[in-house]
Structure 1
Amino acid sequence: MKRQEVVAEIFLILAEFYKYPTEDFYNNIINGDVDKQLAELFKAVNYELETPQFSFWVRDFKGLRAEYSSSFLGITAPFAVPVESAYKVWTNDTSFQIPIANSKGYVMGDSALHIMHLFEHFQLQIPEEYAQMPDHLTILLELYGFIIKERSLQQCKVFLKDHFDWLGDFEEVLKKVDKSKFYIYVVDVLKKVIREEKKYLEKL
Structure 2
Amino acid sequence: MMRAEAFTVLSWCFAPIGREEWEAATNAQTWTEFLTFLGSETDPSAQRDAALGHLAVPPTYEEKTRFAARHFTGGLPASALPVESLYVPSLAGQACGEYCREPALYMRDLAASLGLEIPAAFAAYPDHLSIELDMAAFLCAANSDYARDFAAQRFGWLADYAARLKSLNANASFYVAAIEVLQCVIDAWCKDR
Class of the TM-score when normalised by the shorter of the 2 chains: 0.7 to 0.9
Match of 1:18? Answer: 14
In structure 2, runs of 5+ residues without a counterpart are: none
1:98-117 matches, cutoff 5 A? 104-117=96-109
Which amino acid in the other structure matches residue 11 of structure 1? F
CA 1:147/1:173 → structure 2, altered by over 3 Å: closer, same or farther? same
Shift of 1:157: 3.5
CA 1:32/1:62 → structure 2, altered by over 3 Å: closer, same or farther? same
- Equivalent residues, number: 186
Are 1:33 and 2:37 matched, yes or no? Answer: no
CA 1:146/1:192 → structure 2, altered by over 3 Å: closer, same or farther? same
Shift of 1:40: 4.3
Shift of 1:36: 0.9
Retained in 2: the 8 A contact 1:57–1:181? no
SS of aligned partner of 2:2: helix
Match of 1:123? Answer: 115
Supply the distance in 2 between the matched residues of 1:87 and 1:46 (Cα, whole angstroms): 26
Are 1:164 and 2:155 matched, yes or no? Answer: yes
Supply the distance in 2 between the matched residues of 1:52 and 1:28 (Cα, whole angstroms): 19
Of 134, 142, 149, 1:150 maps to 142
Retained in 2: the 8 A contact 1:31–1:55? no
Match of 2:5? Answer: 9
Shift of 1:159: 1.2
The one of the two structures with greater contact order (alpha-carbon pairs below 8 A, sep at least 6) is: 2
Retained in 2: the 8 A contact 1:85–1:112? yes
Shift of 1:26: 4.5
Shift of 1:169: 0.2
Supply the distance in 1 between the matched residues of 2:14 and 2:156 (Cα, whole angstroms): 17
Retained in 2: the 8 A contact 1:21–1:68? no
Are 1:86 and 2:77 matched, yes or no? Answer: no
Which of 1 and 2 has greater Rg?
1
CA 1:189/1:64 → structure 2, altered by over 3 Å: closer, same or farther? same
Retained in 1: the 8 A contact 2:73–2:79? yes
TM-score by length of 2: 0.81
SS of aligned partner of 1:56: coil
CA 1:86/1:46 → structure 2, altered by over 3 Å: closer, same or farther? closer
Retained in 1: the 8 A contact 2:86–2:98? yes
Supply the distance in 2 between the matched residues of 1:103 and 1:62 (Cα, whole angstroms): 32
Supply the distance in 2 between the matched residues of 1:191 and 1:181 (Cα, whole angstroms): 15
Retained in 1: the 8 A contact 2:26–2:58? no
Match of 1:64? Answer: 64
Shift of 1:109: 0.2
Supply the distance in 1 between the matched residues of 2:7 and 2:61 (Cα, whole angstroms): 23
Retained in 1: the 8 A contact 2:118–2:126? yes
